[in-house]
């Protein structure tokens, strides 16, 4: 009996020495997990600084990690060096930001662990940056970290985006924060300008319009063909914008530049001049899906979804008409220059091929 008693006492003494040395130290997580979110606007960039209980970050990324409950410097450094890609994927999928009803694309620019004042356990600190072109009039944060694993998780949010300011607490029953109001005049202006901007950024569509005009010798058939392109483009733009049908990004990245190559070579070798209107309609379908990508993720809870899509479509089609008429005048002047048409078609095919190579392989 005395022998067993001595063994028990010795065991407690060993445990006491082991704990006092701090190797390894167990994470004092407690019953409530906490996060702090600080959201600010700096030089056309929304900066989201998230401070999350280190235990929660590790558990979200790798719940089967045998070192999950340890906070030695070695364990923390190992986690940061081996799981940065997983951390970025986690944050960008579980935290969604919307500016004026459209989703923002961000990237993690900083990731480290810190000792936070008045907190026992260490915290993970991540900085996520979201480029924006304009100060948002309406902003939405959709936060879904930890709640699936811990219903008592709390996120204290401090938001300051120009005139939009808010302090809030997000819990399992309230995971969304919305600030500001997107009014009808702003919606029409914002989405119509977005459509114009999207058209002028897509040089492949401008090349398609130019090639279609080059393929027809008179103005009337050219206008009829351009109208076919615009009509089918509008149809697929609306179908895709209303989430009825969509094409994968990878497929569109290949089809858009290849459409330029196909059209330029077809007209260069006079292989499809008679069917040019039908070809224009088919290309309009492809390019309509391409433009509609800008509306992916558009929120429908603001009550102005249809107005937003229509304004975007109006801005885009107005740009198509304006550029088509301008190209028609310019190209009719270039027709008088010898070898101008084959040179333009060759250059367009080359640009399309380069664009295909970059978008698909790089």
Q: Are residues 216 and 173 in the same domain?
A: no
Q: Are residues 231 and 169 in the same domain?
A: no
**Percentage of the chain modeled with pLDDT above 90:** 49
Q: Are residues 204 and 316 in the same domain?
A: yes
The band of 302, judged by pLDDT with boundaries at 50, 70 and 90, is low
In a domain? residue 1: no
Q: Are residues 152 and 230 in the same domain?
A: no
Query: Of 121-130, 246-255, 300-309, where does mean pLDDT reach its minimum?
Result: 300-309
Q: Are residues 207 and 347 in the same domain?
A: yes
What is residue 259's predicted lDDT score, i.e. its pLDDT?
95
What is residue 80's predicted lDDT score, i.e. its pLDDT?
79
Task: Single out the residue in 132, 150, 180 at which a domain terminates.
Answer: 180
Chain centre distance of CA 292: 14
Query: Which residues, 6 or more positions from 264, have their beta carbon under 8 angstroms from its beta carbon?
Result: 207, 211, 345, 346, 348, 349, 352
Q: Beta strands 154-161 and 34-41: pairing type?
A: parallel
Asked if 238 and 313 touch (Cβ cutoff 8 Å), the reply is yes
Asked if 79 and 72 touch (Cβ cutoff 8 Å), the reply is no
Interval 244-298: pLDDT, tens = 787 888 899 999 999 999 999 999 888 766 788 899 999 999 998 988 888 888 8
d(CA 317, CA 328) in angstroms, rounded, equals 16
145: containing domain: 21-180
CB-count exposure of residue 175 (10 Å: 0-12, 13-18, 19+)? middle
Q: Are residues 162 and 305 in the same domain?
A: no
Asked if 106 and 19 touch (Cβ cutoff 8 Å), the reply is no
Phi, psi of 330 (to 5 degrees): -65, -45
Q: Are residues 163 and 101 in the same domain?
A: yes
CB-count exposure of residue 297 (10 Å: 0-12, 13-18, 19+)? middle
Question: What is the average per-residue pLDDT within 82-94?
Answer: 93
In a domain? residue 11: no
The band of 32, judged by pLDDT with boundaries at 50, 70 and 90, is low
Q: Are residues 189 and 174 in the same domain?
A: no
Q: Are residues 44 and 85 in the same domain?
A: yes
Task: Single out the residue in 146, 180, 214 at which a domain terminates.
Answer: 180
In a domain? residue 9: no
Q: Are residues 25 and 158 in the same domain?
A: yes
Interval 9-22: pLDDT, tens = 334 333 343 333 34
- What's the chain's Rg over C-alpha atoms? 29
Only one residue has tokens 């005049």, namely: 185
Q: Are residues 140 and 190 in the same domain?
A: no
Q: Are residues 152 and 280 in the same domain?
A: no
Asked if 288 and 237 touch (Cβ cutoff 8 Å), the reply is yes
What's the domain count of the chain? 2
d(CA 193, CA 176) in angstroms, rounded, equals 28
d(CA 226, CA 238) in angstroms, rounded, equals 18
Interval 144-192: pLDDT, tens = 999 999 999 999 999 999 999 999 999 999 999 999 988 888 899 999 9
In a domain? residue 6: no
Task: Single out the residue in 180, 210, 232 at which a domain terminates.
Answer: 180
Query: Which residues, 6 or more positions from 309, have their beta carbon under 8 angstroms from its beta carbon?
Result: 191, 238, 241, 242, 295, 298
In a domain? residue 13: no
In a domain? residue 16: no
* H or E element in which residue 111 lies: strand 107-114
In a domain? residue 3: no
What is residue 22's predicted lDDT score, i.e. its pLDDT?
40
In a domain? residue 63: yes
């Amino acid at each position: 009996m005395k022998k067993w008693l001595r063994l028990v006492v010795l065991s407690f003494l060993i445990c006491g020495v082991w704990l006092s040395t701090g190797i390894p130290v167990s994470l004092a997580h407690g019953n409530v997990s906490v996060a702090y979110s600080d959201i600010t606007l700096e030089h056309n960039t929304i900066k989201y600084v998230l401070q999350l209980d280190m235990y929660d970050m590790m558990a979200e990324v790798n719940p089967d990690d045998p070192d999950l409950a340890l906070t030695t410097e070695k364990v923390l450094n190992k986690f940061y060096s081996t799981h940065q890609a997983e951390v970025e994927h986690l944050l960008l999928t579980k935290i969604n930001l919307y500016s004026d009803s459209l989703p923002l694309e961000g990237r993690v620019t900083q990731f480290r662990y810190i000792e936070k004042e008045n907190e026992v356990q260490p915290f993970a600190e991540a900085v996520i940056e979201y480029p924006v072109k304009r100060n948002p009039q309406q902003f939405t944060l959709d936060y879904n970290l930890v709640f699936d694993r811990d219903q008592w998780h709390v996120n204290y949010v401090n938001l300051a985006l120009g005139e939009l300011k808010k302090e809030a607490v997000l819990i399992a029953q309230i995971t969304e924060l919305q600030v500001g109001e997107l009014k009808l005049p702003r919606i029409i202006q914002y989405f119509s300008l977005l459509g114009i901007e999207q058209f002028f950024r897509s040089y492949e569509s401008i090349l398609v319009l130019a090639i279609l005009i080059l393929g027809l010798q008179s103005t009337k058939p050219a206008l009829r063909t351009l109208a076919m392109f615009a009509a089918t483009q509008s149809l697929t733009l609306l179908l895709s914008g209303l989430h009825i049908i969509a094409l994968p990004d990878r497929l569109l990245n290949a089809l858009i530049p290849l459409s330029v190559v196909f059209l330029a070579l077809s007209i260069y070798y006079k292989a499809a001049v008679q069917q040019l209107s039908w070809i224009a309609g088919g290309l309009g379908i492809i390019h309509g899906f391409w433009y509609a990508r800008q509306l992916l993720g558009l929120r429908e809870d603001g009550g102005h979804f249809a107005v937003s899509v229509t304004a975007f479509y109006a801005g885009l089609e107005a740009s198509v008409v304006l550029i088509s008429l301008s190209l028609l005048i310019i190209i009719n002047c270039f027709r008088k220059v010898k070898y101008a048409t084959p040179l333009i078609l060759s250059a367009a095919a080359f640009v399309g091929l380069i664009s295909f190579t970059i978008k698909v392989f790089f």
